[in-house]
Amino acid sequence: MFDVTLFQKHLNTTWLGQDFKYYETIDSTNTYLKKLENNDLCHGAVCLADFQTGGRGQYKRKWLSKPGENLIFSMVFCPDTNKRILVLSLLSACAFADVIEDDYQLKVNIKWPNDLYVKGKKVAGILTETIFSGNKLERIIIGLGLNVNQREFEGEVQTKATSLINELDGQVISREYILQRALKHIEELYILWEENNPDLIKRINKRLIGYGEKVKLSVDGKIADETCTLLGINEEGYILFLDENLDILVYTYQQIRIVDVI
């Protein structure tokens, strides 16, 4: 089980994770935070579970994780703007990549738009959802699943997924330690996000798989004939490409999938 006391003892954030909700088993941490009333949560609240019975990934895929071995949690953000939401999601990925690289010397990259990869295999996934009251943004919920101490994977992900313990030759990782480290870093990057600081975009772009390289695209579900060069994201979170005619193409994350890096 996740040691909440140990986690809170070392947590040194100002607001992120100070409101911490833990469940041994839950349907979905994202779903739980979506259903809470406004007066039952606050900006920076975090919900973590040791096991999800209805964990979800992008495109309605199930997120499968063995009980008590990984990090499965969701964060609540209540910003004053409903813009640059994808950048907020990507900074969360970037923060975990920074911590894993700094503390465990593993090179981590972001696969557009929401996965973390180590040595060509998926180690984490992110699901971002928004709640609106009319036209007003009420909350952003960012859920993250990080494979930490799970050694074996089943089904179609068996050859596609990895974990920190597998990449570190069996070294067991403290989930409490890595979570408090990551939340602190997310809080620091959030300030850059609020300021719309261009340094944040540069940091994210450097971690994107295919950045500065030629890639094959799927646009609105159709494989494009020509290749493009990935230029990264702009300050609004749109992804940019340079096509063969040297025209800049701008897409939202819903439109585009990077099929292959050439």
Question: In this predicted model, what pLDDT tens digit does every residue of 28-48 receive, in sequence order?
Answer: 999 999 999 888 889 999 999
Give start and end residues of each alpha helix (H) in the chain.
4-10, 29-35, 85-104, 164-167, 175-194, 198-207
Nearest Cα to Cα of residue 54 among 81, 20, 29, 22: 29
Question: Domain spanning 4-207: which CATH class is it, in words?
Answer: alpha beta
Q: Considering Cα of 261, then 109, then 115, then 117, what sign does the dihedral take?
A: positive
Cis peptide before 113 (omega within 30 of 0): yes
Q: What is the dihedral of CA 140, 146, 11, 168, to 10 degrees?
A: -160
What DSSP line would sit under 211-237, residue for residue? BTSEEEEEETTEEEEEEEEEEEE-TTS
Task: Report whether 129 contacts 109 (CB < 8 A).
Answer: no
Structure tokens at 139: 């909350």
Within 13 Å of residue 197, how many CA atoms lie on the same side as its CB?
13
Domain positions in the chain are 4-207, 214-261
Cross-strand partners of 228: 215
Task: Report whether 208 contacts 230 (CB < 8 A).
Answer: yes
Query: pLDDT tens track of the chain, all 262 residues?
Result: 999 999 999 999 999 999 999 999 999 999 999 999 888 889 999 999 999 997 655 444 555 678 899 999 999 999 999 999 999 999 999 999 999 999 999 999 999 988 999 999 999 999 999 999 888 999 999 999 999 999 999 877 878 999 999 999 999 999 999 999 999 999 999 999 999 999 999 999 999 999 999 999 998 889 988 999 999 999 999 999 999 999 999 998 888 899 899 8
Cα distances (Å, whole numbers) of residue 118 to 80, 146, 223, 227, 262: 34, 12, 26, 25, 19
Q: Determine the pLDDT at residue 59.
A: 43
Give start and end residues of each alpha helix (H) in 65-161.
85-104
Within 13 Å of residue 247, how many CA atoms lie on the same side as its CB?
4
